[in-house]
Structure 1
Amino acid sequence: MSIYSIPTLDAFCEGCNTLFSSSGYSRHLATTTNPRCRAILDQADEYMPGVHDQDQPPSAPCFEGDFFGQDYSEHDFGREPGGYQHPTDNNDDEIQDVEIQDDGIQDDEIQDDHLDFDPNEPDWEPEVDEQYQGPPLHDEEHLPSESDNKLFPKSKGNPGAPISSQKGNNEYQASQAQFEHTSARSPYAPFISRLDWEFARWVKLRGPGSTAINELLALDNMAEKLGLSYKNSVELHKITDESLPGRPRFKREEIVVAGESFDIYFRDVIECVRALFRNPEFAAYLVFSPEQHYSDPACHSEHRIYHEMHTGKWWWSTQIALEEKTPGATIIPIIISSDKTQLTLFRGKTAYPVYLTIGNIPKEIRKKPSRQAQILLDYLPTTRLKHITSPTSRRRALANLFHRGMKLMLDPLVEAGKHGLPMRGGDGVLRRCHLLFAAFVGDYPEQLLVTCTKVCPTCDVPRDELGSGDLGEPRDLQAVLEALELVDGPPGEFFAACRGAGIKPIVHPFWEGFPYTNIFRAITPDILHQLYQALIKHLVAWLTNSKAFGPIEVDARCRRMPPNHTTRLFTKGITTLSRVSGQEHRDIARIVMGLIVDLRLLNGHSTTRLLLAVRGMLDFLYLAQYKAHRSTTLGDMDAALRKFHANKNIFVDLGVRARFQLPKLHNAGHYRYSIELFGTTENYNTQTTERLHIDYTKDAYNASNTRNAFAQMTKWLERYSVTTTL
């Protein structure tokens, strides 16, 4: 027999009295339908160790004989009584020689400690360096069952209680009643047929301009052949403007700041909230009362879960304060977001849209543009006031212009928050609703603009301590309001009071009279601009600096990455990218740790602190995006940020940075506070705002002729909302 051949052993099946090869016997037992053969397979499975039997050595059944009988002795198996002896068959010796020859490693050449482990040891684990320990791995946060929810106590009030036992019509029923007595009795009224409605909808959503539509309908009496109720775009616009229900209409007002007048187009904020609250599509999902969710029935504070906005502390504490004055109140949390966007690539045309949504709608609905849970509230003026030559005066005038426009639009919230308004929901129930400004969503410059601050919109940390990782004292809202009351007095006294309160001297900020609102804690985290477009951007720049790893090796590793379904390939590297988007920074964050984990620093420094700093930053990035948080995961998020701060000076030692006075790095320390107040970061994500720019701003601008664009954009949006909400 050749030295490389292995003898084939036959196996006998007692179930069907058949002789098989060893491999054939296994296939036979796996595929047989003979009950006796299946019994042999089941008996063999009983001797296979399971996942819970790792602590016990594997056992096998005692040999009881075979087809040829039971008269075997120890010598027949190559064993001596009381011990084990290697077989003396020549073929077996040859097989052993092959195994030794294939190993090719002597015992004295084995130097790796990890090759000597015993896998059968029950408590064996590979050694891990303690300093590289990341946050503990948690099971995916689950939403609690109803038994784990702590509802708002009836003894303190009855939020969401109806003020009338008689149900009324919701938005759908009201619009249906409008056409109930029409002569046509068409289900597509005011259109006469389905084709009539579908063609009108196509014109608004996908069709060309008005001139092209007029030419199409004029071709060989096209309107009559199709049975349309309109012959041109003017008649179609008249139907959609006058006969179809839609979102509130835009109004135009003029505001005067610094001796110059500006046009502002806005909707009635009360009617916008009413349109969302009474939408029958949201009726089954609306939340009217705060709740406390826990991951255990005992409701311990360390097991509290935060996810939707009504599970946060803000709604609960505000409901208690409101019930003390007006029992039975229903809170409607107002979420305002704003972001200046570019309309043209070269001409510099910009727009400043402001969006509104309510916290009663679940976050999974609010973040989907197709669900129409966000409403465009207004377009703020985008002038640069170039006629003001002083930069300081120009910035102050622009800030006053912003607050003047926001106050004109949001001023009705003052009375609606104090005394409440009767509002009918999508379920037809009438409730007394208090519209309270809860959260503002925006980038860091807009956060400073809204709060009238200079460094941090939430706390009073000094500018030179931004990089320390420590938080300042929360801003005193009462002191700020007292300073703002001096606006009608001597200018010097007003400026001094504002400086002492840590704010800019703005004339009547829009949030000045809002009830139950603290604007400084209403500022929410911004995952897109603060983390991906700021901290991850800085981190990549530090790592690819020539004093750290350098761009050549990092880009080379990017090019050598194998294709994978979950990662993006940067075939030209990551240092050559320009105008990097948030999605590209998200893709870079997934691979950056793997790119540098075994690289050596160019100057010979140890990479231990650098890897710890990068790991801390990435851990914080992903923990901050959890869809559900509890106290333990929030603690892990804080620990990850502390790890970065404890090791960030490696970049100073390398000469990459001189200091870390980064406001967005400081703002990361406020994430836990905001999550505990308003739920997870999905409730106030600026990515939703960026997506809304496409539908509500850029598409609207492209539909205009760019002359007096905002008047045309608002009219286009009114007609667009009619066709998308029906």
Structure 2
Amino acid sequence: MDRHLSAAAPLSGQSDPALPFAASDNWVTSNIQIPMPCPNKKSASEELTPTLEVKGVHHRRLTEVIKTAFEDDTFLDFNIKPYKQFWKPSDDEPVQRVISECYSSNRALELEREVYETLPKPADPNVDTVIAWLMLWSDSTHLANFGTASLWPIYMYFGNLSKYTRCKPSSYAAHHIAYIPKIADFANDVYREQFGREPGDDVMRFLHRELFQSIWFLLLDSEFTEAYTNGILILCADGIVRRIFPRFHSYSADYPERILIVCIKFLARCLCPWCLILKEDIAKLGMKRDMKNRIKKLRRDGLQLRARVDKARKLIFEKGFGVESTAVKNLLDSESLTPVKNAFSLTLQEHNFNIFRLIPVDELHEFQLGKWRDVFVHLLRILQDLKDDSLTILDER
């Protein structure tokens, strides 16, 4: 995969169109610098700290992906206005709200209202305003049952397209926007060469978190933030010019990646990406008081949170404290935060972006591949142990 990517995007900007990830598909290659913390090593500032250079990060510019999607014939199937959908089962039953698509969700309506309230003045009355609901996914994936081959893609769907179309492989609705490289092998060598010691587990966790956010800083570039603020004029596939405002609708991932997205610790005391419920209170799930507490203790993104992270990073890089030292924990552990700057929070702060609202309820990861799967596998083992045709009967059902 790395060989194909390198051949597809050489320094000259030319590429073989027969290869995947060609430059014609707006793939670019960038290098990123990750500051390396070392206990008892002080620097004048974080900017002067020795860095780990990660070369050859393959990614696409989000604005180019958006332009391509709206200029493509697939746009003709896009829903460009959100709405509420209702269903009346019968004349005797009340009307029920139906939420089955991104564009019929409360989130979509909320994002459109947000855009219209902050439209640049004077807005062109002759150009229609359209929201591009961006739905993000990322998933570190093993490519084989044997060996260590793996891939960590970040990909994006447009919520304007029906889920029944998006789910078809033949629709090519998934847009890969970046690939996260592995750093474990060479990071040890670079760190040892710089500091004369092996990086501890806490340092490797820090570098891993920084890598994830650094790639999102690449993706959320100045061109995208300009489009986020003022929209981007696109001649759509139907021949009409529209002003497109990109908005992030959701970011779906399993728990290990959710904590990377929102910059909290893995299964820590406040383990939830949405609220500050303590681990010891999880058993109260389902109680009325529990739901009230979850609403009352929602996580808040803002200046105060970012200031705490900045202060923790100064302790690490300028004062020489360890990443998981007591001084750093005293600043961050009350909300199980990590000393990592969040790309979404920083880049979109003028829009009051709340990173914690980006994570949706995910039935697949939370239930179907979680506890329900465990229970179902256990029940299958019970049937298998009965030594009769119970499993066959279950299959027939």
TM-score (norm 1): 0.40
Q: Relative to structure 1, is the Cα distance of residues 303 and 537 closer, same or farther in structure 2, using a 3 angstrom cutoff?
A: closer
Residue identity over aligned pairs, in percent, reads 20
1:267 pairs with 32, 56, 60, which one? 60
Question: Which whole-Å deviations, capped at 9, do the CAs of 1:531-578 have from their partners, x for residues lacking one?
Answer: 23221233246668xxxxxx5x532458413857xx537xxxxxxxxx
The match for 2:357 among 506, 521, 539 is 521
Change (3 A) 1:400 1:363: same
Residue aligning to 1:505: 339
Say if 1:403 and 1:509, in contact at 8 Å, map to a contact too.
Answer: yes
Instruction: Say whether the 8 Å CA contact 1:413–1:436 is kept in structure 2.
Output: no
3-state SS of the aligned residue for 1:438?
A: strand
Contact 1:247 1:272 in 2 (8 A): no
Task: Tell me the residue number matched to 1:391.
Answer: 201
* Per-residue CA distance 1:300-326 (angstroms, 9 max, x = gap): 997211111111111212222221221
RMSD of aligned alpha carbons: 3.2
Q: Which among 213, 222, 245 is matched to residue 403 of structure 1? A: 213
CA distance in 1, matches of 2:16, 2:374: 53
- Indicate conservation of the 8 Å contact 2:154/2:177, yes or no: yes
Contact 2:60 2:219 in 1 (8 A): yes
Instruction: Name 2:301's counterpart in structure 1.
Output: 477
Equivalent in 114, 120, 125 of residue 321 of structure 1: 114
Tell me the equivalent position of 2:71: 278
Q: Which residue is 2:272 aligned to?
A: 456
Q: Distance in 2 between matches of 1:477 and 1:502?
A: 14
Aligned counterpart in structure 1 of residue 366 of structure 2, from 517, 523, 530: 530
Q: 1:274/1:338 Cα in 2 relative to 1: closer, same or farther (>3 Å)? A: same
Deviation at 1:366, TM superposition (A): 1.1
1:420–1:432 Cα contact (<8 Å) kept = yes
**Alignment map for 1:339-418 (pairs within 5 Å):** 339-384=139-184, 385-387=187-189, 388-411=198-221, 412-418=223-229
* 1:318-368 C-alpha deviation (Å, 9 max, x unpaired): 222221221663211111111011234443132211111111111111111
Q: Gaps spanning 5+ residues in structure 1: where?
A: 1-236, 545-550, 570-590, 592-726
Distance 1:533 1:293 in 2: 30
Distance in 2 (CA, whole Å) between partners of 1:358 and 1:466 is 34
Q: Which stretch of the first structure deviates more once superposed, 259-268 or 439-448?
A: 259-268
Task: For 2:26, give the aligned amino acid.
Answer: R
Residue type matched to 2:373 in 1? K
Q: 2-side partners of 1:393 and 1:406: how far apart?
A: 20
User: Partner residue of 2:28?
Assistant: 251
Alignment of 1:123-162 (within 5 A): none
Distance 1:345 1:556, change over 3 A: closer
> Is contact 2:17–2:24 with CA below 8 Å preserved after alignment?
no
What is the match of residue 554 of structure 1?
A: 383
Determine if contact 2:132/2:159 at 8 Å carries over to the other structure: yes
Shift of 1:429: 1.2
Contact 2:153-2:180 within 8 A present in 1 as well = yes
CA distance in 2, matches of 1:238, 1:490: 48
Map of 1:568 onto structure 2: 395
Kept in 2, the 8 Å contact 1:248–1:268? The answer is: no
Which residue of structure 1 aligns with residue 85 of structure 2?
Answer: 293
**Alignment-derived partner of residue 105 in structure 2:** 312
Give the secondary-structure state (helix, strand or coil) at the position aligned to 1:512: helix
- In 2, the alpha carbon distance for the partners of 1:260 and 1:377 equals 23
Name the aligned partner's letter for residue 505 of structure 1: P
Mapped to 1, the partners of 2:329 and 2:224 lie a distance apart of 28
CA drift at 1:480: 2.8
- Structure 2 runs not aligned, ≥5 long: 1-14, 37-50, 190-197, 266-270, 322-326
Other structure's SS at 2:258 match: helix
Q: CA deviation at 1:372?
A: 0.9
In the aligned structure 2, how far is the partner of 1:517 from the partner of 1:452?
A: 15
Shift of 1:489: 4.8
Residue 395 of structure 2 aligns with an amino acid whose one-letter code is: R
Distance 1:488 1:395 in 2: 15
Q: 1:301 and 1:319 mapped to 2: Cα distance?
A: 28
Cα gap change, 1:287/1:484 in structure 2, threshold over 3 Å: closer, same or farther?
A: farther
Q: Deviation of residue 379 (structure 1)?
A: 1.0
> What CA deviation, in whole Å up to 9, does each residue of 1:46-88 have, x standing for no partner?
xxxxxxxxxxxxxxxxxxxxxxxxxxxxxxxxxxxxxxxxxxx
State the match for 1:434 in structure 2: 245
Larger RCO, structures 1/2 (Cα 8 Å, 6+ apart): 2
Choose which of 251, 257, 261 in structure 2 pairs with 1:446.
257
Count of residue pairs brought into register by the alignment: 320
**Contact 2:225 / 2:347 at 8 angstroms: preserved in 1?**
yes
Q: Any conservation in 1 of the 2:383–2:390 contact (CA below 8 Å)?
A: no
Deviations 1:134-171 (A, max 9, x none): xxxxxxxxxxxxxxxxxxxxxxxxxxxxxxxxxxxxxx
Distance 1:342 1:357, change over 3 A: same
Structure 2 CA distance for aligned equivalents of residues 363 and 499 of structure 1: 39
In 1, Cα distance between the equivalents of 2:352 and 2:388? Answer: 55
Q: Secondary structure at the match of 1:253?
A: strand
- Post-superposition shift, 1:507? 2.9
CA distance in 1, matches of 2:63, 2:115: 20
Q: CA separation in 1, counterparts of 2:299 and 2:359?
A: 12
Q: Secondary structure at the match of 2:147?
A: coil
CA shift in 2, pair 1:282/1:561, >3 Å? farther
Instruction: Find the aligned partners of 1:430 and 1:376 in 2 and give their Cα distance.
Output: 26
Change in 2 beyond 3 A, CA 1:239/1:497: closer
Q: Give the AA of the match of 1:465.
A: D
CA distance in 1: counterparts of 2:226 and 2:333, whole angstroms: 30
CA distance in 1, matches of 2:260, 2:172: 28
